[in-house]
Structure 1
Amino acid sequence: MTSLAVLASGAAADAVGGHVPGLVSDRVASRLFERDATLWGEEARDEAAKRLSWVGLGRTSRHLVGEISALRETLREQGVDRIVLCGMGGSSLAPEVICATAGVPLTVLDSSHPDVVRAAAIDLARTAVVVSSKSGSTVETDSQRRVFEQAFADAGIDAASRIVVVTDPGSPLEEDARRKGQRVVTADPDVGGRYSALTAFGLIPSGLAGVDVEALLDDAEAVTDLLAEDDEANPGLRLAAAIAGTRPLRDKLYLVDHGTSARGLGDWIEQLVAESTGKQQRGLLPVVLEDPGRTPLPADATLCRLVEVGEEDRPGGSAPRVLPATSPTSTLDVGGSLGAQFLLWEVATAVAGRLLGINPFDQPDVESAKQAARDRMSGSDTAATAVDAVDGPVEISHLGGDWLGGATTTETALQALLAQLDDEHGYVAVMAYLDREADAPFAEAVDALAARVQRPTTLGWGPRFLHSTGQYHKGGPRTGVYLQITDTPAQDLPVPGRDFTLGEFISAQAGGDAAVLADHGRPVLVLHLADHDRGLTLVGDALRGGRA
């Protein structure tokens, strides 16, 4: 039996008691599953009308199971036992969680960094590549596909036999892939990217890698009726109220692995919640914590522990328990099987949008960063970020106001940035345009920074975060300070058939994102590692040094 549990205490429990009865009275759950596009107001109606098919995916994605099985067998006959996924945002995060939870290897390529892309294009004799892009025009995935096409050709392998494209019907990617003879699987066009975990975007790469995707759909279908019910025991309504209904709003959501078997679930929740709610200068900032003991829970945050669920909390048994509101803090325990949790969090995020008064299905500021990068690539924006100082292997720049002062070292520049931090409502966003595998130990320095500043601190790997928390950075409350870290690739990589290299592209992405943040009045410190290893060590030492 599939299980779900949402247990709240403190301010989160107060929010459940204060909002769930009204949500039940307004029939929000049943209207959501009836695909009522009016739930978020007139301005959101047109967008919502074409974004609600995800509520029925536990049933409507069943046709993919047989298709995946047949394709997996075909690839195995070709000697394929390694799957690479080229995708960004929701197209990559759900398969990454699905495969990690199942213990199935999947190489996720969600970067335009040339060193990262080159490292993924190996072992080609045993490799198949899934290229996922809803729009079919995502520059990162187009560039990655071109690199793999060339690599397969150079290895004497027919690329068309090794590339599987997942995209919306009628996209430019579908047209080009079919012309080249590549396999194409079209996804449901009425599902947005971050709600697509149980569509072809989540299931095709996971299934080809070896996951039992039918079990995921079984889990989601088993809780569909529960989540569609207008009842105060509905865990989706409870979770929505707990994260978006506190008064005053606790707009930071700390996510902690507290025994869940769903590996990396917090990262998937992060992009779903941040991109869905971070707009109109409001929203919820998810903060994924590896070590919750290092930082106290601030007054503007709710702690959400991702737990395993016992049999007593299963649907059809007792109602999800809510602990008494005896604590001055705000906490949640949320658990369930992975397929069920995908649907639970999607429901809760959509309903949270209604409580916050925003459209949970658009992402206006994601496009602004993309356009800024395109402008830099085309030469229409030639403004270069001035270097303010050089500290050995680190070049220091700043944007978004005259706040750097006379800082000439990495440590003093960081101190100047942190001096802009609101001690009651602010947060620090570290945006590292680096290799998230090779440079993973850098996360420890970010944890040390969080412990020192005692404020919510996030680490986003670029450009992957642009498709998730990047929306919140620009569209959410103006309370963040932003540290961007870039480097010079060890070796650049031309994009076949294009007039740019991946090094030029990721530089344009970082520069464009920093410029858009500055245009929104956000302070941005840019630390460029002219020498990667020595520079990253220096930056890490500065983060551990904390505030002046």
Structure 2
Amino acid sequence: MGSLSFETSGAARTAVEEHIGTLVADKVASRIAAMDRTLWGPAAEAEAGIRLGWVQAPEVSRPLVDDILRLREDLRAEGVTRIVLAGMGGSSLAPEVIANTAGVELTVLDSTDPEQVAAALAERLPQTALVVASKSGSTVETDSQRRIFEQAFTDAGLDAASRIIVVTDPGSPMDAASREAGYRPVFNADPTVGGRYSALAAFGLVPAGLAGVDIEALLDDAEEAAEILAEDAPENIALALGAVLGGTSPLRDKIVIADEGSGIVGFADWAEQLIAESTGKSGTGVLPVVVNAGDPETTWNEPDVLLVRLVSPADDLQPEDSGASQVVVSGSLGSQLLLWEYATAVAGRLLGINPFDQPDVEAAKIAARGLLDARPEPQAPAFTDGAVQVRAAAQLLGGAGTLAEALRALLGTLGPDGYLSVQAYLDRFGQAELAGLRPQLATLAHRPVTFGWGPRFLHSTGQFHKGGPAVGVYLQITADSATDLPVPGRPFTLGELISAQAAGDAQVLADHGRPVLRLHLTDRNAGARQLREAVAQLGGKG
């Protein structure tokens, strides 16, 4: 199938064999391509009716290309060679994958961590333009980042309005305010394209194109795949992948995604948001677990785990003889982006859910806003071990009095079909080494472990954690910062905002009856080191 290839084994192959005939007979592929809102049932019709524009994105996005390239040349003529993207979730994950795969520089600012934002501010500001991307036009993280950069541009004697480019839906609060402020051309996104399906629309193309990506070639690639993915045929890989994601029986709802040299940098992180936010609701869904090649989960044959291997088109597609049920996928970037969007929509139909809404994302936002407004005193820690304050419900901690004992208590709550989610509200570049805890904890627990950087995961797997099956346990990591940044025109700092976001999410998880262990590092470096040592200690005892 063009630049796409696909092989299956075990339960994945059985799912394809079981569902492909019905999917073809029901003309699911061509009906998606025709934007048929009825595919996901009556309850989903209204939402689906305004969220299927992505199927036409490779063609409809063409008029954007000339405008983006013209602006890129204008910026370069003015000495602007660095693009920073302020965006969350679907507004940042796709352009980051597109830019990194093309090998061009794009600084993605999808955090409210003051140290991460301060680092982005400190680098080559005179050569920088800021792309502010928000579908709703009211995303608090993105608005805060815009305000901080606007002030920094002004303080540096730069014309802030000429350095800020906005991507938003027509009629959003940001649309009107940006035009009034005289910002650089405002790009209106297609309102019929949901954020996580917007890789090939304005949210993916504007920042990537301004950074230097050949976006016309990307659209060419996707458009070629679009014709094939719309076919009602047993060979349609989108139908087969959708059957695997949503149609195993019993449902293998932990989708372990390992990149084994696909050449698409960070693709699994983009797919993670697409799948988790689209399917994790009404007590069902599938949880993507992003791992590295050779991590423990890639060899497991657990009944709820399915392995997806992303490989190079030049590689042998035959599944490895590990006994694990698995899928092997290869393809170029544009075709893969559209493939997984189609497949996720197909999986939604098989799961009996609406793949275009995200009903539980708003709960954490509301809780965070409430904490920002009320400014309650922080909950006292249950105990402090060195540079780590430990907070959790008494029934979770039991008699734990050390960090290692608290971690052991959390792992002890994992059920046979459970997963652990590690959520680090920290600088994902400055403290990237903490992600190394993920495979260690997976080895200890022998259960899938996800790792998300806060608050960006709130726009991704955060939906699944609250709306999906109630089998997760949660390890939240926050930290004091030697740096804080006021948000101009707002009564809070970034440090206060990220603290409220973490506390709000923990509160919502607890309200859902989920076990949450909260670790606060009073010293970032010392606390992170202590946490790594505690996990290693558990491994030594295990």
TM-score by length of 2: 0.96
Aligned equivalent of 2:405, options 412, 415, 419:
412
State yes or no: 1:392 paired with 2:396. Answer: no
What's the offset of the Cα at 1:385?
A: 3.1
Inter-CA distance 234–2: structure 2 relative to 1 (3 Å threshold): closer
Corresponding residue for residue 41 of structure 2? 41
Whichever residue aligns with residue 194 of structure 1, its letter is R
1:509 alignment partner, SS class? helix
For the Cα contact (< 8 Å) 2:479–2:522, is it kept in 1?
yes
Whichever residue aligns with residue 345 of structure 1, its letter is W
For the Cα contact (< 8 Å) 1:13–1:322, is it kept in 2?
no
For the Cα contact (< 8 Å) 2:521–2:527, is it kept in 1?
yes
Aligned equivalent of 2:324, options 326, 329, 337:
329
Structure-to-structure mapping, 1:443-522, within 5 angstroms: 443-522=435-514
For the Cα contact (< 8 Å) 2:295–2:439, is it kept in 1?
no
Aligned equivalent of 1:245, options 244, 247, 263:
247
Q: What is the CA–CA distance in structure 1 between the aligned matches of 2:214 and 2:25, rounded to whole Å? A: 38
Aligned equivalent of 2:423, options 431, 446, 451:
431
Inter-CA distance 110–496: structure 2 relative to 1 (3 Å threshold): same
What's the offset of the Cα at 1:68?
A: 0.8
Q: What is the CA–CA distance in structure 2 between the aligned matches of 1:125 and 1:309, rounded to whole Å? A: 41
State yes or no: 1:299 paired with 2:299. Answer: no
For the Cα contact (< 8 Å) 1:276–1:363, is it kept in 2?
yes
What's the offset of the Cα at 1:292?
A: 2.6
State yes or no: 1:309 paired with 2:313. Answer: yes
Post-superposition CA distance 1:261-312 (Å, at most 9, x none): 111100000010011111111111111111434343233111101112259x
Whichever residue aligns with residue 155 of structure 1, its letter is A
2:483 alignment partner, SS class? coil
Q: What is the CA–CA distance in structure 2 between the aligned matches of 1:382 and 1:291, rounded to whole Å? A: 44
Corresponding residue for residue 182 of structure 2? 181
Aligned equivalent of 2:527, options 532, 535, 538:
535
2:92 alignment partner, SS class? helix
1:364 alignment partner, SS class? coil
State yes or no: 1:129 paired with 2:130. Answer: yes
Corresponding residue for residue 163 of structure 1? 164
Number of aligned positions between the proteins? 536
State yes or no: 1:68 paired with 2:71. Answer: no
What's the offset of the Cα at 1:335?
A: 1.1
For the Cα contact (< 8 Å) 2:260–2:293, is it kept in 1?
no
Structure-to-structure mapping, 1:29-428, within 5 angstroms: 29-122=29-122, 123-183=124-184, 184-295=186-297, 296-297=299-300, 298-310=302-314, 328-379=323-374, 382=376, 384-399=378-393, 402-422=395-415, 424-428=416-420
For the Cα contact (< 8 Å) 2:39–2:349, is it kept in 1?
yes
Kindly, what percent of the aligned residue pairs are identical? 59
1:241 alignment partner, SS class? helix
Q: What is the CA–CA distance in structure 2 between the aligned matches of 1:539 and 1:142, rounded to whole Å? A: 33
Q: What is the CA–CA distance in structure 1 between the aligned matches of 2:146 and 2:469, rounded to whole Å? A: 36
TM-score by length of 1: 0.95
State yes or no: 1:20 paired with 2:20. Answer: yes
Whichever residue aligns with residue 403 of structure 2, its letter is T
Corresponding residue for residue 318 of structure 1? none
Q: What is the CA–CA distance in structure 1 between the aligned matches of 2:489 and 2:376, rounded to whole Å? A: 23
What's the offset of the Cα at 1:404?
A: 1.1
Q: What is the CA–CA distance in structure 1 between the aligned matches of 2:533 and 2:231, rounded to whole Å? A: 52
For the Cα contact (< 8 Å) 1:373–1:513, is it kept in 2?
yes
Q: What is the CA–CA distance in structure 2 between the aligned matches of 1:323 and 1:16, rounded to whole Å? A: 15
Whichever residue aligns with residue 303 of structure 2, its letter is A
Whichever residue aligns with residue 401 of structure 2, its letter is T
**More displaced, 56-65 or 382-391?**
382-391
What's the offset of the Cα at 1:532?
A: 1.2
Q: What is the CA–CA distance in structure 2 between the aligned matches of 1:244 and 1:350, rounded to whole Å? A: 10
Structure 1: runs of 5 or more not aligned: 314-320
Q: What is the CA–CA distance in structure 2 between the aligned matches of 1:120 and 1:113, rounded to whole Å? A: 11
What's the offset of the Cα at 1:452?
A: 1.8
What's the offset of the Cα at 1:383?
A: 7.3
Q: What is the CA–CA distance in structure 2 between the aligned matches of 1:499 and 1:323, rounded to whole Å? A: 55
Q: What is the CA–CA distance in structure 2 between the aligned matches of 1:360 and 1:449, rounded to whole Å? A: 31
Whichever residue aligns with residue 267 of structure 2, its letter is L
Post-superposition CA distance 1:464-508 (Å, at most 9, x none): 100001111111111111000000111111000111111110000
For the Cα contact (< 8 Å) 2:259–2:293, is it kept in 1?
no
2:397 alignment partner, SS class? coil
Post-superposition CA distance 1:308-334 (Å, at most 9, x none): 2259x9xxxxxxx9979x985311111
What's the offset of the Cα at 1:378?
A: 1.3
For the Cα contact (< 8 Å) 1:2–1:219, is it kept in 2?
no
